[in-house]
Structure 1
Amino acid sequence: MTNKISITLSTTRKEKPQADQLEFGRVFTDHMFIMDYSVEKGWHDPRIVPYQPISLSPSTMVFHYGQTVFEGLKAYRTKENKVLLFRPDQNMQRLNLSNDRLCIPRIDEEFVIDALKQLVDIDKEWIPTAEGTSLYIRPFIIPTEYYLGVAPSKYYRFMIILSPVGSYYKEGIHPVKIFVENKYVRAVDGGTGKAKTGGNYASSLKAQEEAEKRGYSQVLWLDGVEKMYIEEVGSMNIFFKINGEVITPALNGSILEGVTRKSIIQLLKHWGVPVSERRLSMEEVYQAYKEGLLEESFGTGTAAVISPIGEFFYNDEKLVINNGETGEISKKLYDTLTGIQTGTHDDVFNWVVEV
């Protein structure tokens, strides 16, 4: 593959939304990155072009068999007007892990990060500066072969699109309410739970819909076999602070290894806070709640960063955490991580990359 990226700039620029009008994933910037794959050429023809629709045949495999992967990361603008990315190498490593699971050819991680930097630099004026805002980056791969047959595609398209965003949850940093799901199943060990693929999210929609009807923002998934052990929230990994110790479910083959999750564990260890990754049942959490030992709970993810959890609905009972207020650890983690991402805190881990 040639390392030369062709660039075609848009001749008409779109109007940028005001910071207070930003939703998550509704508005997109002026440009996008595209790269194609064929068995004959490998990955080829990398290009930055104006943001535009794509044309595909109805028989294109993406519409039929779910062989898709994606990632999510963010760009931030500092007070000094620098543009920073947060651990993009981790996202590209995880994208290749997803590729392996879905039989998609691996990408050159360094090349894609360079392409991403060029794209963000071209559209850097789209990066909002208000507190809690950022430029969301969505890399994704779809199969593009015209074929109705259950087999890996011989052709693919890799794309990156950009979207200025506000908070993922309308609650922002304020605590969200979570419904504990014990009927539907999202993933099991040996399945695709540890890959970031579209089917995982499609299978969560029914439970999410029912949770929202009850007034809950997200679903907490239990394991798909015994329906006892905690896995993750629909868009986040999850943590619990019980009797002074922060606990998160161990990666078990059906849980996505979040970049924010990994960063939070490193931060907690750096601070000397007891933190463990282990199997954790909802019943253990419930007993800790009854005994007054469940001090905090929060979710972590690129979209929401840190999302405090103020209430669980479990077995027809409301478990209100920390009086429904943001806990001390949740707030400190949010302030520190967003500070590193936006350049206001020292980056002692060398996590940020300047565009």
Structure 2
Amino acid sequence: MQEFPITRAETLKPKPDPKTLVFGKTFTDHMFLMNYETGKGWHNGRIVPYAPLCLEPSAMVFHYAQEVFEGMKAYRSPEGGVQLFRPMDNVRRMNESCERMCIPKLPEETALEGIKALVRLESDWVPSESGTSLYIRPFIIATDPSVGVHASHTYLFCVICCPVGAYYKEGLNPVRIYVENEDVRAVKGGTGYTKCGGNYAASIRASARAEEQGYAQVLWLDGVHRKYIEEVGSMNVMFKLDGEVITPELTGSVLPGITRRSCLELLRDWGITVHERLISAEELFAAAQAGRLEEAWGTGTAAVVSPIGEMGWKDLHVGISGGKIGGLTQKLYDTLTGIQWGTEPDPYGWTVKL
């Protein structure tokens, strides 16, 4: 186990009420930092008090958006311990994002040990209320003070944490989503398969329009043909159609979600036929109108599994599963969260105890 120097915060923050947690608003006492410099590599991993970062106004991340991030969680088990869910998968996916954004890859074991060390130090922040967890946000930013379009020579890897409750105010109640016809989130050959801020910045306008119409999220279409379903908001999406599960295939513009992968492994182990393929909005809505679309849900670290109860596209509006969570959606949620919180056995070795 790698050890890192720790500078402890002089004053500790009060812990928030776990019953009223708001996602992504309260942060813990410490953060993990590590620097990169060309010729020196990644070095100086350390834990320091959570505080503002000191960056030049000319830092390249501000001007050319050379950055990547991840999202993962720590969970409180019934015995009182803390565990992570598939953390090395997050580190490896972060390195895939780094490769696309021309950022030096992290030493995987060192990065994971840094995350573990921070969570151990902040273990008192991991809530134990049902449905709560400690959200972990690792990210890398380009720090060269330079105005010029090229890869930075220096970077900062930072990990921050925040205790969270439900991602959506609806909780596990089905959400309403709307198919976006105007804006494009990503295209093949671009950065759609990475977790970089530009992908999410490009989604904000459509999300705002959807919210104005009373929808919780946007269902994105592909950027070339403008007809095939890709993602729902910040999550992957799945549909139960005629007893089988369909999810958009990974074409290079869809994020390879870790929760998505976990759901697919569970579904196949349960003997359910799964198709990773292109599915058009036209096909999807025709199936819904014909009563063949049985369930729909989003998958992601933040919400885990989020049932979809209604979809809108152009002038069409269809309900799904009577506006209630479907049986398969519920089973996926219960199984995944059971493994994550340690209330169900983990035959896959997905959890890492701290």
Under a length normalisation based on structure 1, what TM-score does the superposition of the two structures give?
0.98
Tell whether 2:138 aligns with 1:118: no
One-letter amino acid matched to 1:302? T
Give how far 1:4 is off. 4.9
Tell whether 2:321 aligns with 1:340: no
**1:195 aligns to what SS in structure 2?**
coil
| Alignment of structure 1 residues 185-224 onto 2, 5 Å | 185-224=184-223
| Alignment of structure 1 residues 306-321 onto 2, 5 Å | 306-321=305-320
* Structure 2 partner of 1:89: 88
Contact 1:100 1:106 in 2 (8 A): yes
* Structure 1 partner of 2:180: 181
Segments of 5+ residues of structure 1 without an aligned counterpart are none
Task: Summarize deviations over 1:54-77 as a string: whole Å, max 9, x none.
Answer: 111111111100111000000001
* Structure 2 partner of 1:303: 302
Tell whether 2:55 aligns with 1:56: yes
Segments of 5+ residues of structure 2 without an aligned counterpart are none
* Structure 2 partner of 1:139: 138
Give how far 1:159 is off. 0.2
Task: Summarize deviations over 1:182-230 as a string: whole Å, max 9, x none.
Answer: 1110100000000100000000010000000000011000000111000
Tell whether 2:282 aligns with 1:286: no
Structure 2 CA distance for aligned equivalents of residues 334 and 24 of structure 1 = 19
Contact 2:125 2:163 in 1 (8 A): yes
Contact 1:4 1:46 in 2 (8 A): no
Structure 2 CA distance for aligned equivalents of residues 301 and 90 of structure 1 = 13
Percent same amino acid at aligned positions? Answer: 56
CA RMSD between the two structures: 0.7
Structure 2 CA distance for aligned equivalents of residues 316 and 147 of structure 1 = 48
Structure 1 CA distance for aligned equivalents of residues 183 and 351 of structure 2 = 38
Task: Summarize deviations over 1:55-106 as a string: whole Å, max 9, x none.
Answer: 1111111110011100000000111011110000110110000000000000
* Structure 2 partner of 1:25: 24
* Structure 1 partner of 2:106: 107
Structure 1 CA distance for aligned equivalents of residues 53 and 71 of structure 2 = 21
Contact 1:75 1:84 in 2 (8 A): yes
Count of equivalent residues: 353
**1:7 aligns to what SS in structure 2?**
coil
One-letter amino acid matched to 1:98? S
Give how far 1:40 is off. 2.7
Contact 2:3 2:117 in 1 (8 A): no
One-letter amino acid matched to 1:343? G
One-letter amino acid matched to 1:231? E
**1:103 aligns to what SS in structure 2?**
coil
Tell whether 2:77 aligns with 1:78: yes
**2:109 aligns to what SS in structure 1?**
helix
Contact 1:76 1:85 in 2 (8 A): yes
Task: Summarize deviations over 1:209-254 as a string: whole Å, max 9, x none.
Answer: 0000000011000000111000001210000000000100000000
Contact 1:138 1:162 in 2 (8 A): yes
Structure 2 CA distance for aligned equivalents of residues 158 and 85 of structure 1 = 20
**2:178 aligns to what SS in structure 1?**
strand
One-letter amino acid matched to 1:256? L
